[in-house]
Structure 1
Amino acid sequence: MKRFLSLITLLVLALSGQAQQYYLLVGTYTTGTSKGIYVYRFDASTGKTTPVGETDVENPSYLTFSPDGRFVYAVNENPSGTGGVTALSFDTLTGNLHLLNRQSSEGEFPCYVATDATGKWITVANYGGGNLSAYRVADDGSLGGSAQLIQHEGKGANAKRQEKPHVHSTVFTPDQRYVVSADLGLDKVYVYNFNPDMDEPLTPASTPTVSVRPGSGPRHIAFSPDHRYMYLITELSGEVHVFGYAKGRFTPIEHVPTVLKDTSADKGSADLHLSPDGRFLYASDRGNTNDIVVFEVHPGSGKLKRVGSVSCGGVTPRNFTIDPTGHFLLVANQRSDNVVIFKRDMQTGLLTPTGDQLQIGNPVCLKWWPVPSAH
């Protein structure tokens, strides 16, 4: 009996160890030394990475997986002219990517792409164009032309940065009934009904916009694991805004600074993510601070309490990610050409550099997919 239990224990440990293997995809700007999308294998029990391969793609500055992991979609944030969006197949057994097709993003400087839960639609945010577009996904993962293009209009309080609309993200709500789009230029989050059965799936919601203070610059959005709260980071004011969420309606709760010192007019706040258990929220600041800020989340109210910060280990932390187990946080530092790996304390939320990092030209997006247990 003891031998049987020992064998069961070894099997559970083996399966657990296998389950902690993930592919890490790194999107980059290719205006420097980078070639496109880089694939690594990441061991979440040790924090160690192994190179898998690389695929030539022009300026894949933001990536997303299809819900089943068979496809990857990348925006092509070209330095001038209309951008693109590229579809690639992804082999979950080998980690290899293969180009399927590319479509126009219908706007300048596309910076965000997202898929719905069915895998039949993607949405793209065009920062320079001030618009968002929706695309149908074919059964083979390729993209048709833009099925819908929505143009925002107006300008904001900051004459330098908000001279026109700047759509920075398009996020499907957890219930998949809406798409929320942060517009840095207009200090608004636009709310669209999402109907995947329609030829044009997006229509203005009954409450079509959520406003923040003039000059804030909305950028990225994250929903809490229990779906009760939406968190919005504002690039220009250096803040995280907390909203209650229910059925397409957003109730302001509070906003807290990520940058404590008034170091510059534009704080450069960039990205935010919640830990898998929802107990902590992390935010990145560029500007003069180049750090990752740690907030504890109050379970009853969604409010945030600052508990610490740590240097990002480089320059311009445009994007970061928490591995699915919650044990590590990785930061993509755009201007120092490195991805820095931090160990995450599950109880305090605080971060400690592991000493390991990846050297990649202009890394700006990090995405995970589990390695199949049979591999």
Structure 2
Amino acid sequence: MTEREDRTCGVRAHIGSFTSAGGRGITTAAVDARTGALAVLGVTGGIADPSYLALGRGGRRLHAVSETERGAVRAFAVDGRGLPRPEAPAVPVGAAGPTHLAVAGEWLLTANYTSGSVSVLPADGTADGTATGPTAVLRHEGAGPDPERQAGPHAHQVVPDPSGRRFLSVDLGTDSIRVCTLDPATGAAALHAETALRPGSGPRHLAFHPGGGLLYVLHELEPLLTVCRWDADRGHVEPVREVPVAPPAAPGAVRAYPSAIVAAPDGRFLWAAVRGTDTIAVFALGAGPDAGPDAGPERPRYVGGVSCGGHWPRDLALDPAGHRLYAANERSGDVTWFDVDPDSGLPRRAGSLAVPAATCVVLG
């Protein structure tokens, strides 16, 4: 085995794309253990617009949404080289426009943007072909003040909570977060509670602090970050603070559309992708030379912003150690990787890989 083969035989990057915009499907790349560089291993088709991906079964299975009017999910077995191979036909989610998915134990959760709902499906069923549809579809209700983007509900993300007892869905159209219960045996789901956020802000994605007691909500229609306390026992979200994602924009400046958010595994930093300005915003979550006496995870401190390395950063991914950050730049058609400064959290561009209409990156 050569030195390069030894350095790329472990971690893989699976990259989703919009095939309707020229994407090739799912691109799989080897990740160089020393530099973080990506090298394409192969491309997997067989599904339209696989805009979001999730790994399950210890990394041995990859799940993909089909973000189409007839929304679906499809499972892929990950072979010995780390390449996904289709296992069975796609399974309908019972809704339109699934834009995000997550694995929760034996179940798949999808956030269906167009229909404004969340679906639950058996994870194994999407692989063996026995499932014909979801075990539950929870339809959101409501609207927001933006007549173009918030005429109805638009579920944009669904995330299991760290305790594994519940899951949360983020709705851009209703300016809210819904907390739901999930029966691990049957896949039955029900709404437990709903928390309203700033009207017209358009919450898009959230990330939990690794300590489990806080979550950070990133808004698309206003460049804001909302800090919330999370009570896993009660299933309760409590907003406590709003933080701008960037310094105030000058009149006539390009509008910012935040998209994705990730937290460092050690809880020291938070990164947010911002479309429009094509930047990555960096927040410190603890002590630092410019931190005040009340600094901490509940008070994110804006450190600065750097170029995303392309145009329209739709997704971010962080390596498990928190040393490298990857940005999927949809409109420039690339995935750019960065070395993260361990003291400031600021990313430094290290390279990029051409991936047409790139929409997400999953490492595993």
Q: TM-score, normalised by structure 2?
A: 0.90
C-alpha separation in 1, matches of 2:221 and 2:9: 37
- Report the alpha carbon displacement of residue 260 of structure 1 after superposing the two structures with TM: 2.6
Does residue 1:276 correspond to 2:261, yes or no?
A: no
Aligned-pair Cα RMSD in Å: 2.0
Q: Is the 8 A contact 1:253 1:303 kept in 2?
A: no
- Report the alpha carbon displacement of residue 197 of structure 1 after superposing the two structures with TM: 1.6
Deviations 1:101-129 (A, max 9, x none): 2111222211001001x3x1001111001
Question: 1:309 and 1:23, CA in 2 relative to 1: closer, same or farther beyond 3 A?
Answer: same
- Report the alpha carbon displacement of residue 313 of structure 1 after superposing the two structures with TM: 1.4
Question: 1:147 and 1:140, CA in 2 relative to 1: closer, same or farther beyond 3 A?
Answer: closer
Deviations 1:8-66 (A, max 9, x none): xxxxxx9xx86994101100111233220011110232122222111013110000011
**Aligned equivalent of 2:243:** 256
Larger radius of gyration, structure 1 or 2? 1
- Report the alpha carbon displacement of residue 140 of structure 1 after superposing the two structures with TM: 8.3
Question: 1:135 and 1:259, CA in 2 relative to 1: closer, same or farther beyond 3 A?
Answer: same
Please state whether the residue corresponding to 1:129 is helix, strand or coil. coil
Please state whether the residue corresponding to 2:21 is helix, strand or coil. coil
Residue type at the aligned position of 2:61: F
Q: Is the 8 A contact 2:273 2:313 kept in 1?
A: yes
C-alpha separation in 2, matches of 1:160 and 1:176: 35
Please state whether the residue corresponding to 1:153 is helix, strand or coil. coil
**Aligned equivalent of 1:349:** 345
Structure 1 gaps, min length 5: 1-13, 370-375
Larger strand percent: 1
C-alpha separation in 2, matches of 1:328 and 1:228: 25
Q: Is the 8 A contact 2:93 2:121 kept in 1?
A: no
C-alpha separation in 2, matches of 1:18 and 1:30: 31
**Aligned equivalent of 2:212:** 227
Please state whether the residue corresponding to 1:204 is helix, strand or coil. strand
C-alpha separation in 1, matches of 2:179 and 2:9: 36
Please state whether the residue corresponding to 2:230 is helix, strand or coil. strand
Q: Is the 8 A contact 1:44 1:323 kept in 2?
A: no
Q: Is the 8 A contact 1:41 1:49 kept in 2?
A: yes
- Report the alpha carbon displacement of residue 312 of structure 1 after superposing the two structures with TM: 0.8
- Report the alpha carbon displacement of residue 245 of structure 1 after superposing the two structures with TM: 1.2
Please state whether the residue corresponding to 1:107 is helix, strand or coil. coil
**Aligned equivalent of 2:122:** 136
Does residue 1:362 correspond to 2:348, yes or no?
A: no
Does residue 1:99 correspond to 2:90, yes or no?
A: no
Structure 2 gaps, min length 5: 287-294
Identity score, percent: 32
27, 39, 49: which one pairs with 1:59?
A: 49
C-alpha separation in 2, matches of 1:140 and 1:133: 13
Q: Is the 8 A contact 1:236 1:265 kept in 2?
A: no
**Aligned equivalent of 1:154:** 142
